[in-house]
Amino acid sequence: MTRTPGGLARLLLGTSLAASALLMSGAATAALPVTPTTVGATTQIGDVTVRSVAFDNLGIAMSGNLYLPKDFSEGRKYAAIVVVHPGGGVKEQTAGLYALKLAEQGFVTLAFDASHQGASGGLPRFIDDPMKRVVDFYSAVDYLTTLPFVDDERLGALGVCAGSGVAVKASMTDRRIKALAIVSGIDSGAAARKGWDGNSPVSAMLDTLTKVGAKRSAEAAGAPPVYVNYVPALGDATAPRDLQEAADYYLTERGRYPTSTNQMLMTSISTGMSFTGFEGADTFITQPLLIIAGSEAGSLWHSRELNAKAASRDKELFIIPGATHMDLYDGPGAETAARKLAPFFKTRL
């Protein structure tokens, strides 16, 4: 197993060996709530009970956290929301924060690790294939429908960053989802093809794919896999602003978590580039749709594009003045987003 510090992953989310080394140290952050790690175990966070759960995804054991609201009763029926984490993230980070905030408002919520990542199963490790993540989403919805206290007719989805492209793509064909929201949304395939700010030349994409193809041939001949990183090193001023701020979240006490290792198989870049998260939204996204983004986010073009495309007659692009992409992961930005999300889901589910 080798890692490369080259610019291949910068098209997706940047790269840094130092960042990977820091995350692999295994140190958790005090800024994230402690959640259970043994299936069936629970932890109390304020009025919310967090239960560690596992569910099947075509033979892969998926790891999730189920958030249960105050005065939860197995005999009641609750609206439920699937929360999809960003690329390179895990369920304990911003996805868990939003799951917690929505559970505080009376919803049952589920945050889970993508297959091949975090605490979920799947080999080889660190595959990042958005279409695999869409299937992960289907299995998460399947799991919720097996719970006697979940109302199958009141299921929603929330995606953050790259998780939004997954949630949008999955919700196109999973009509069990009755309402959809995204925060700091991106179509990761479009970001891979066009660059973070949407301005990368086609030649850069083609050069990257040539290198990925050569790596696939090398691995087929027996070479060890190569891993690239999602976020740049702390202080890397050459990266887009959003990605510099992503390093501040993922690589510091603010959001660091042991199972979020900042690693992706280099060969995943080709599958990532082929993903079209928002394609088809003009036909299939008929559910109520809420899009939340920061006015200063370099990724804002994704949110504007989805808002323009979506077929839904009940849609809103809510822009938070002065906020960047990463401001909505935690802190005041997430509080503002959560205050918008809760009434949206309450009136649509």
- Asked if the structure places residue 226 within a domain, the reply is no
- Asked if the structure places residue 166 within a domain, the reply is yes
- CA distance linking residue 39 with residue 45, whole number of Å: 17
- CA distance linking residue 222 with residue 225, whole number of Å: 9
- CA distance linking residue 94 with residue 84, whole number of Å: 9
Per-residue confidence (pLDDT) for residue 30, from 0 to 100: 54
- CA distance linking residue 198 with residue 138, whole number of Å: 29
Instruction: Provide the 8-state DSSP code for 145.
Output: H
- Asked if the structure places residue 247 within a domain, the reply is no
User: Please, what are the averages of pLDDT over each run of 10 residues along the chain (349 residues)?
Assistant: 39 33 41 91 97 98 98 97 98 98 98 98 96 98 98 98 98 98 97 92 92 95 94 93 96 96 94 96 98 98 98 98 98 97 98
- Asked if the structure places residue 321 within a domain, the reply is yes
Domains of the chain: total? 1
Q: Is 293 left (phi over 0), alpha (psi -120 to 50) or beta?
A: beta
Report the CATH number at residue 185: 3.40.50.1820
- Asked if the structure places residue 118 within a domain, the reply is yes
- Asked if the structure places residue 276 within a domain, the reply is yes
Distances (CA, A) of 349 to 65, 83, 157, 197, 287: 21, 15, 11, 34, 11
Percentages helix, strand, coil for the chain (3-state, rounded to 5) are 35, 20, 45
Instruction: Provide the 8-state DSSP code for 113.
Output: P
- CA distance linking residue 25 with residue 20, whole number of Å: 9
Q: Where are the alpha helices (DSSP H) in 274-330?
A: 281-284, 300-309
Residue showing tokens 């006697």: 148
At 257-308, the pLDDT tens digits run 999 999 999 999 999 999 999 999 999 999 999 999 999 999 999 999 999 9
- Asked if the structure places residue 330 within a domain, the reply is yes
Length of the chain as a residue count = 349
Per-residue confidence (pLDDT) for residue 174, from 0 to 100: 98
Domain range for 82 is 33-204+264-348
- Asked if the structure places residue 224 within a domain, the reply is no
